[in-house]
Amino acid sequence: MFPTLLIIATYLIGMYFLVFWYLSVLDKDYQAPKQGWEKINKFPSVTVVIPAYNEEKNIASTMKSVISLNYPKDKLKVIVVNDGSKDRTKEKAEEFIKAHPDRSILLLSQPNSGKARAINNALSHTTTEFFVNLDADSEVHPDTLKKMIHIFQTHSAGENLAIVTPAMMVKSPANLIQGIQYVEYMFTIFISRILSRNNSIYVAPGPFSVYRTEIIKKIGTFDEGNLTEDQEIAYRAKSLGYDIKNCADAFVYTRSPRTIKALFRQRNRWYKGGLMNAWQYKKMLFNKKYGHFGCFQLPFNFIGYGLGIAALGFFGYFTLKPFFRGIKNLFIVGFDIKPYLRNLFRFDFNILDYNFMLGFFIAFSMLIILFFLFRVFRDYQVRLSRKNIISLIPYLFFFPVFQGFTIAVVLIELVFKKVQKW
Amino acid sequence: MVDKLRKRRLTSLLITFLLFLLGVSLGMLIDKERISWSERMHADNELLYESSNIQYLLLSQLDDTESECPVLLTALEKNIVELGENLERLLNYEKDSIFRNEKAYQMQKRKYFLSNVKYWLLSSKVADVCPEYDAINILYFYSTENCPICPNQGVVLTYYKNIFQEKLLVFPIDIDLKKEEPVIDLLISRFGLTTYPTLIINNQKYEGVVYKEKLGRIICAEFTEDYPECAVYKEG
């Protein structure tokens, strides 16, 4: 009975959020990429902060993508913070600076003390109206900054708009692990548009979120002890009544983990940090003062962990349990499979054998997710290549299990108070 | 904006509830169809039983059964196998169904149980009339609710069912039905059952799980003919 109740509860909850997002998309106000950014004529000063730790391979291309931004040179400053790298990151950055004497680039060095301290270090040298954090493993499209500044200048939130987030994409996915993340990031772009429309953005991703400097300095800079400081700052801004918006076509290309191990490590940090931050700001939970964010998004941020665990549970129940039962049965008959092979190709089809109710729920959820993906691929004119389709299947059926597994590990580690470092 | 979102949240809740109801209704509809299917299959099987029974009655009036027995045996074995498969499917449907009609499933299980007993009796009687009848009848008493090791016996029986096909006829009896079916009490007292699983093979009782090697030896010892599948057990 318990698995049955769990299945029903999970589908009800999961379906509720999917239906809500679906209705949000149908809304005529659903935010399409904002037009008119090409015509902006006021260019506020911006500092791009690049914290770097052991990024000798990527730092030059990241810096190059920044100085290639379609933005007036005199309004754009760059601060690279070498966070105690053990490789040649510092030398590579110095070489780049030497090769571009016409650009305002400052190189700071600090003993290795984490990304948040590196950003705060740069922030103390920042005097521009806006600042951007760009992870050293990411690159930015030349028009991205202009598009994001345009949001700051035109959005109805005005001076209250503290952060604008980009549309992150995976840079050149080379294997299945990165392919899955490519589909995931596309899905996230889509969801971010909905969250932006509903005032519910809860994270300012490391790759190229733009901040209003004055507000960030006022609310107290980045939390150096936090695993996901880019999320904590977003929660803090929301809790203090500031707005966060997403710029749906401000593209940033990030290098995603190539191996399961690296991906697990990254997600472990994200989910652990996410849970700790949600818990830290639990006062907003179901608090009408925080509107839709407190009544819908924050509960979802908690429930999402439950859904992940449920995905893991279903995987165990529907695949591992029958698998191990099969192994046990084979053990009972001394692993003699010959008698079973006799009936292997016996045609005994009966349509009633299918579990239609469960199939209906799964098919409905999958259809909504596929609709979202189709829509985002169409909106961004990304070709649905064979590679993308191949990645789609594990993304839909196996990635939730991986997420569930990571969440389970995170919960166990939190119980035993093991906190990962950046 | 706030009102719009609140309205959307409520609409989502309503749609989710309606979708859930739709899914549940679909499940219940399919369940109803499964029960109807089971009833149809059982009715067909009942007819086949009547046919086999009449054949048996006719045969028992004859002196020379040599030419008629094979026809009856083929039909009988086929019907019993089919009955077993339909019962297995019914039990899978029951396990699969979340919002099931317990009463309807219980009723079907009782019908299949009675058919199993009927076929078992008939099969035992046919063995007396047809000397070439070389199938082993196994009455398999198990409990779904109170016997966690019973599935192990099921695995071993399925294994031999796959090997000997229609030469091995298994009649499963779910003793959990004894509240509704007094026949089960009769069988329990006739065979003096105290524990489950229990196998009755040609009136011989085997309590507890009879595992592969032992069951293989028992089955092969009961056959009149020498089958190649039994070579390994007879050597042992």
* Cβ-based contacts of B150 with chain A (< 8 Å): none
Is A302 a residue whose pLDDT tops 70? yes
- The span from the CA of A378 to the CA of A380, in Å, is 5
Asked if B137 contacts B167 with a C-beta cutoff of 8 angstroms, the reply is: no
Work out the average pLDDT over B80-108: 89
If DSSP codes are grouped into helix, strand and coil, which group holds residue B117?
helix
Write the CB contacts of A89 (distance below 8 Å, at least 6 apart in sequence). Answer: A52, A53, A54, A55, A56, A59, A82, A136
At A30, list the tokens. Answer: 């659903």
Q: Which amino acid is at B105?
A: Y
If DSSP codes are grouped into helix, strand and coil, which group holds residue A260?
helix
The residue written with tokens 């309807």 in the block is B104
Write the CB contacts of B17 (distance below 8 Å, at least 6 apart in sequence). Answer: none
* Cβ-based contacts of B211 with chain A (< 8 Å): 332
The reply to whether residue A16 touches residue B211, judged by beta carbons under 8 angstroms, is no
Q: Label the pairing between strands A46-52 and B136-142.
A: unpaired
Give the largest CA-CA distance in chain B. Answer: 93
- The span from the CA of B78 to the CA of A357, in Å, is 33
- The span from the CA of A150 to the CA of A221, in Å, is 24
Work out the average pLDDT over A277-300: 91
Mean pLDDT of chain A: 89
Asked if A30 contacts A24 with a C-beta cutoff of 8 angstroms, the reply is: yes
The reply to whether residue A333 touches residue B33, judged by beta carbons under 8 angstroms, is no
- The span from the CA of A137 to the CA of A207, in Å, is 8
Question: H or E segment at A131?
Answer: strand A130-133
CA distances from B31 to A11, B21, B89 (A): 20, 15, 12
Mean pLDDT of chain B: 88
Interface of A with B (CB under 8 A): 4, 7-8, 11-12, 15-17, 19-20, 23-24, 27, 198-199, 291-292, 295-296, 329, 332-334, 336, 339-340, 342-343, 348, 350, 352-353, 355-358, 360-361, 364
For A31, phi then psi, to 5°, come to: -70, 110
Is pLDDT larger for residue A210 or for residue A390?
A210
Asked if A357 contacts B24 with a C-beta cutoff of 8 angstroms, the reply is: yes
If DSSP codes are grouped into helix, strand and coil, which group holds residue A286?
coil
Q: From the list A24, A333, A357, which residue is nearest B24 (CB)?
A: A357
What pLDDT does A37 receive? 80
Q: Considering only CA atoms, which of B68, B76, B81 is closest in space to residue B51?
A: B76
Chain B interface disruption, residue of A300, A325, A332, most B CBs within 10 A: A332
Q: How confident is the model at residue A421 (pLDDT cuts 50, 70, 90)?
A: low
pLDDT in tens, A114-145: 899 999 999 999 999 999 999 888 889 999 99
Q: How confident is the model at residue A418 (pLDDT cuts 50, 70, 90)?
A: low
CA distances from B95 to A11, A323, B144, B230 (A): 19, 18, 11, 35
Is A1 a residue whose pLDDT tops 80? no
Could you report the predicted ipTM of this complex, rounded to two decimals?
0.83
pLDDT in tens, A341-351: 877 777 777 88
Q: From the list B2, B27, B152, which residue is nearest A292 (CB)?
A: B2
- The span from the CA of A30 to the CA of A46, in Å, is 29
Q: What is the C-alpha end-to-end distance of chain A, expressed in Å? A: 42
Please name the residue of chain A whose CA is at the shortest distance from the CA of residue B210: A332
* Cβ-based contacts of B162 with chain A (< 8 Å): 339-340, 342-343
pLDDT in tens, A58-76: 899 999 999 999 999 999 9
If DSSP codes are grouped into helix, strand and coil, which group holds residue A310?
helix
Give the bridge partners for A81, in sequence order: A51, A108
- The span from the CA of A355 to the CA of A368, in Å, is 20
Is A33 a residue whose pLDDT tops 70? no
- The span from the CA of B151 to the CA of B139, in Å, is 15
Q: Considering only CA atoms, which of A256, A250, A38, A226 is closest in space to residue A115?
A: A226
If DSSP codes are grouped into helix, strand and coil, which group holds residue A314?
helix
What pLDDT does A422 receive? 47
CA distances from B139 to B78, B169, B173, B193, B203 (A): 17, 9, 7, 12, 9
The reply to whether residue B24 touches residue A329, judged by beta carbons under 8 angstroms, is no
At B173, list the tokens. Answer: 């009896």
* Overall pTM surpassing 0.90 (yes/no): no
Is pLDDT larger for residue A419 or for residue A119?
A119
Asked if B202 contacts B220 with a C-beta cutoff of 8 angstroms, the reply is: no
Chain A interface disruption, residue of B18, B98, B149, B157, most A CBs within 10 A: B98
Lowest mean pLDDT among A41-55, A308-322, B121-135, B161-175: B121-135
Give the largest CA-CA distance in chain A. Answer: 80
CA distances from A249 to A150, A188, A285, B17 (A): 12, 13, 31, 35
Residue A86 is classified by DSSP as S
Other Cβ atoms less than 10 A from the Cβ of B199: the count is 22
Q: How confident is the model at residue A30 (pLDDT cuts 50, 70, 90)?
A: low
If DSSP codes are grouped into helix, strand and coil, which group holds residue B105?
helix
At A400, list the tokens. Answer: 């939730």
Alpha-carbon dihedral sign for residues B39, B42, B48, B50: negative
User: Helix and strand tally (H, E) in chain A?
Assistant: 16, 8
Lowest mean pLDDT among A222-236, A346-360, B136-150: A346-360
B33 part of contact set with chain A, CB < 8 Å: yes
